[in-house]
Chains A and B, each alone.
Chain A
Amino acid sequence: MILMRAGLRNLLRHPWQTCLAVLGVALGVAVVTAVDLANETSHRAFQVAAQTVAGRATHQILGGPQGLPEELYRQIRVTLGFRGCAPVVTSELRLAGPGAANLQLVGVDPFAEPPIRAFSSQFQNGQALAALMTQPGSVLLLRQNAQRFGLKVGDSFQAEVAGSRRRLILAGLLEAEDELERLGLDSLVVADISTAQELTGRVGRLSRIDLVLPEGAGGERLLRELRGLLPPEASIVTAGANAGALEQMTRAFRLNLTSLSLLALVVGMFLIYNTMVFSVIRRRRLIGLLRAVGVTRREVLVQLMGEALLVGIAGTAAGLVLGVILGQELTRLVTRTINDLYFVLEVRRVPLLPGTLVKGALLGVLATLAAALPPALEATGAPPRAVLARSFLEARSRRLMPVALGCGLLMLLCGGGMLAVESWGIPGSFAGLFALIVGYALLVPAGVVLLARLLRPILGALFGVIGRMACRGVLVSLSRTGVATAALVVAVSATIGVGIMVGSFRTTVQHWLESWLRADYYLTSALGGEARRRPPLDPALVRRLSGIPGTGVSLTRRVSLATPGGPLELFAVEIPRSTFSSYRFKEGNPERAWDGFSRGGAVLISEPYAYRHRVHLGEPVVLPTRFGPRSFPVAGVVYDYGSDAGIVMLSRTGYLAFFGDASVDGIGFYAMGGGSAAGLPARILALAGESRVRLVSNAELRRATIAVFDRTFAITGVLRLLTMVVAFVGILSALMAMQVERARELAVLRALGLTPAQVWGVISGETFIIGLAAGLLSLPLGVLQALVLIFVVNRRSFGWTMEPYLNPELMVQAVLLSLAAALLAGVYPSLRIARLQPALALKEEE
Chain B
Amino acid sequence: MTDAPLVELQGITKSYREGERERAVLKDASLTISRGEWLFLLGRSGSGKSTLLNLLSGIDLPDSGEILINGKPVSRLGERERTMFRRTRIGFIFQSYNLIPTLTVAENLLLPLELIGALSRDRKVEALELLDQVGLADRAGSYPDRLSGGEQQRVAIVRALVHRPLLVLADEPTGNLDAETGREVLDLFQHLLRPSGATLVLVTHSGEVAALADRLVSIKEGRLVPTTLGSGALV
The interface of chain A, by Cβ under 8 A from chain B, is 1-3, 5-10, 13, 286, 289-298, 383-385, 395, 844-846
Contacts and interface: CB of A to CB of B under 8 A. Distances in A.
A290 B59 contact: no
Nearest to B176: A844
Given A286-B101, A385-B54, A292 B59 contact: yes
Given A295-B115, A844-B149, A845-B145, A2 B102 contact: no
B103 interface: yes
Given A2-B114, A292-B92, 15 more contacts: A6-B103, A7-B102, A8-B102, A10-B102, A13-B102, A286-B100, A293-B86, A293-B87, A294-B112, A294-B115, A295-B115, A296-B83, A385-B60, A844-B97, A844-B176
A297 B83 contact: yes
Nearest to B96: A844
B109 to A, nearest CB: 10
Interface in B9-24: 17
Contacts of B101: 13, 286, 845-846
Nearest to B104: A5
Contacts of B111: 2-3, 6, 293
Ranked 6 nearest A-B pairs via Cβ: A294-B87, A9-B102, A846-B101, A384-B59, A385-B60, A294-B86
A6 B102 contact: yes
A296 to B, nearest CB: 5
Interface string B72-83: 000000011001
B98 interface: yes
Nearest to A388: B59
A801 B145 CA distance: 65
Contact of A295 (B83, B102, B176): B83
A231 to B, nearest CB: 82
A10 B115 CA distance: 19
B1 interface: no
B118 interface: no
A83 to B, nearest CB: 78
Given A9-B102, A294-B86, A1 B114 contact: yes
Contacts of A10: 102
Contacts of B115: 3, 293-295
B99 to A, nearest CB: 8
Nearest to B92: A292
Contact of B80 (A1, A13, A289, A297): A297
B218 interface: no
A294 B88 contact: yes
Contacts of B88: 294
B7 interface: no
Contacts of A292: 57, 59, 86, 92, 94, 98
Contacts of B136: none
Contacts of A383: 59-61, 79
A334 B161 CA distance: 67
Interface string B100-133: 1111000100111011100000000000000000
Interface string B42-80: 000000000000100101110000000000000000011
A395 B80 CA distance: 25
A294 B84 contact: yes
Interface residues of B, number: 34
Nearest to A285: B98
Contacts of B149: 844
B32 to A, nearest CB: 24
10 contacts: A5-B102, A5-B107, A8-B102, A286-B100, A293-B86, A293-B159, A294-B87, A294-B90, A384-B59, A846-B101
A298 B78 CA distance: 14
B145 A294 contact: no
Contacts of A2: 103, 107, 110-111, 114
B59 A294 contact: no
A289 B60 contact: no
Nearest to A399: B17
B79 to A, nearest CB: 7
Nearest to A9: B102
Contacts of A844: 96-97, 149, 176
Contacts of A296: 80, 83-84
Contacts of B112: 293-294
Contacts of A286: 100-101
A7 B97 CA distance: 19
Nearest to B112: A293
B167 to A, nearest CB: 13
Contacts of B59: 291-292, 383-385
Nearest to A386: B60
Contacts of B97: 844
Contacts of A3: 111, 114-115
A12 to B, nearest CB: 8
A426 to B, nearest CB: 46
A578 B102 CA distance: 81
Nearest to A300: B83
A846 B103 CA distance: 12
Contacts of A293: 86-87, 92, 111-112, 115, 159
A846 B98 CA distance: 8
Nearest to A846: B101
Contacts of B54: 385
Q: Which of B54, B59, B159 is the most central at the interface, judged by chain A CB atoms within 10 Å of its CB?
A: B59
Contact of B100 (A289, A297, A385, A395): A289
Contacts of A297: 79-80, 83
A297 B78 CA distance: 12
Contacts of B90: 294
Nearest to A391: B18
Nearest to B81: A296
Nearest to B102: A9
A300 to B, nearest CB: 10
Nearest to A1: B114
B92 A6 contact: no
B13 to A, nearest CB: 16
A342 to B, nearest CB: 56
Contacts of A395: 17
A822 to B, nearest CB: 30
Nearest to A294: B87
Interface string B139-180: 000000100010000000001000000000000000010000
B191 to A, nearest CB: 23
Nearest to A298: B80
A298 B83 CA distance: 11
A385 B98 CA distance: 14
Contacts of A9: 102-103
Contact of B103 (A5, A295, A298, A845): A5
Contact of B83 (A5, A6, A13, A294): A294
Contacts of A845: 101, 145
A10 B79 CA distance: 26
A9 B80 CA distance: 26
A1 B119 CA distance: 11
Contacts of B114: 1-3
Contacts of B116: 294
A153 to B, nearest CB: 69
Nearest to B115: A294
A778 B61 CA distance: 43
A725 B78 CA distance: 46
Nearest to B17: A395
Contacts of A384: 59-60
Contacts of A385: 54, 59-60
Q: Which of A8, A286, A294 is the most central at the interface, judged by chain B CB atoms within 10 Å of its CB?
A: A294
Contacts of A7: 102
A292 B90 CA distance: 10
A294 B115 CA distance: 7
B213 to A, nearest CB: 23
Contacts of B61: 383
A781 B18 CA distance: 36
A297 B87 CA distance: 13
B100 to A, nearest CB: 5
Contact of A289 (B84, B87, B98): B98
